[in-house]
Structure 1
Amino acid sequence: MADDSKASNVGERYAQALFDLANDEKTVAAVEADLKSLKTALAESRELKLLLASPAFSAEDKAKGLAGIAAQAGFHATTRKFLGLLAANGRASALASVITGFEALSAAARGVVAAKVTTAVPLTAAQGKGVAAALRQALGKDPEIETRVDPSILGGIKVQVGSRLFDASLRSKLDSLKFALKRA
């Protein structure tokens, strides 16, 4: 666990540095859009995850890989330079935590709160608006919602805001019932 904490701390420091730079250059929106594209690529590409995490690839290889992705996607110059710096410093494996940290800093600067909503089936537009309204009322801030579908929760909803998790999924209720029956 200490290694994860260390990587997260490194990611947070790099995220803060990137946010400060992007804020000074008035390019926060462009950099955030680039990072969201990278986040999607990380989620979908096993090869990219392997490139960034594996010690078998040198910092130079990682820098070339990230530069290629950035050039192909047409990333902003600030993002491209940052990715090169991250790889050159041997911190490419912290990219996911950098993205998470940057998104949190950007949301805080805009006065919104990030929320991750997980459901067993995709939300309809009306359900999405209902969740957004409930979060807005509960948090007192506009929510920026990232939705995810996870059939393993069986039904219900899970909402994570920061470190707080509201779990009203059928899976957790069944697990609680199973635990209670084992104790009886």
Structure 2
Amino acid sequence: MAKSSSPVSGVAERYAQSLFELARDEGSVDSTESELNAFRDLIEENADFRRLVESPAFTSHEQLAAVSAIVAEVKPSPLVGNFLKVVASNRRLFALAGIAEGFRAMAAAHRGEAEAEVVSAHPLTEEQRGELRDALGSYSGKTISLRESVDPAILGGLVVRIGSRQVDTSLRSKLNSLKLALKEVG
């Protein structure tokens, strides 16, 4: 189960947990994750759907009708289709992105995977990605997937977050530490 410190709300976490248990029982965790990700992407990419999901102005009946039409067109698995209809009828569509994120985390844990957030000053090469993945995998005992971002402000090095741990080897942090040490001396 996702930790309470995760960005997933309690409502989203409960729905994600329920869906995960159903998907696990029917052996469809990977396909359910993929379908949820498609709906999360639809929220991000389609302003009209995002408005339907996020706006409290729509009634549960209107949300259910819209989701039912989308489900009929997209034809996801019965589990995901029915789940989306339940979420809409309970007026919880606003939590759909969080549900997808919570489900993704539970599915990754189920597969023995962990995600590491990596911030670097420059894009990593394939060789660097492989070495980092191997090092983090041996540290955590899990298969690691990397979520990378580039921030030139760190100047060099890496900032790596895996679970609740963070390792900051950035040049910016080292310079800030040196700056503080020099202030204490002077």
Match of 2:97 in 1: 96
**Structure 2 gaps, min length 5:** none
1:55 aligns to what SS in structure 2? coil
Deviations 1:100-123 (A, max 9, x none): 221121112112222233445443
Match of 2:18 in 1: 17
Is 1:125 matched up with 2:96?
no
Q: Is the 8 A contact 2:52 2:63 kept in 1?
A: yes
Match of 2:34 in 1: 33
Is 1:106 matched up with 2:107?
yes
Deviations 1:38-61 (A, max 9, x none): 333344445444332221222233
Deviations 1:45-78 (A, max 9, x none): 4544433222122223333444455455442221
1:123 aligns to what SS in structure 2? coil
Aligned residue type for 1:114: E
The structure having more radius of gyration, on CA atoms, is: 2
Match of 1:54 in 2: 55
Aligned residues: 181
TM-score by length of 1: 0.76
Distance 2:64 2:181 in 1: 52
1:35 aligns to what SS in structure 2? helix
- Superposition RMSD on alpha carbons, in Å? 3.3
Distance 2:94 2:144 in 1: 29
Aligned pairs for 1:140-151 (under 5 A) are: 140-149=141-150
Match of 2:117 in 1: 116
- Going from structure 1 to structure 2, the CA distance change for 1:82 and 1:166 (only over 3 Å counts) comes to farther
TM-score by length of 2: 0.75
Match of 1:137 in 2: 138
Is 1:75 matched up with 2:68?
no
**Structure 1 gaps, min length 5:** none
Shift of 1:16: 0.8
Aligned residue type for 2:78: A
1:75 aligns to what SS in structure 2? coil
Q: Is the 8 A contact 2:75 2:81 kept in 1?
A: no
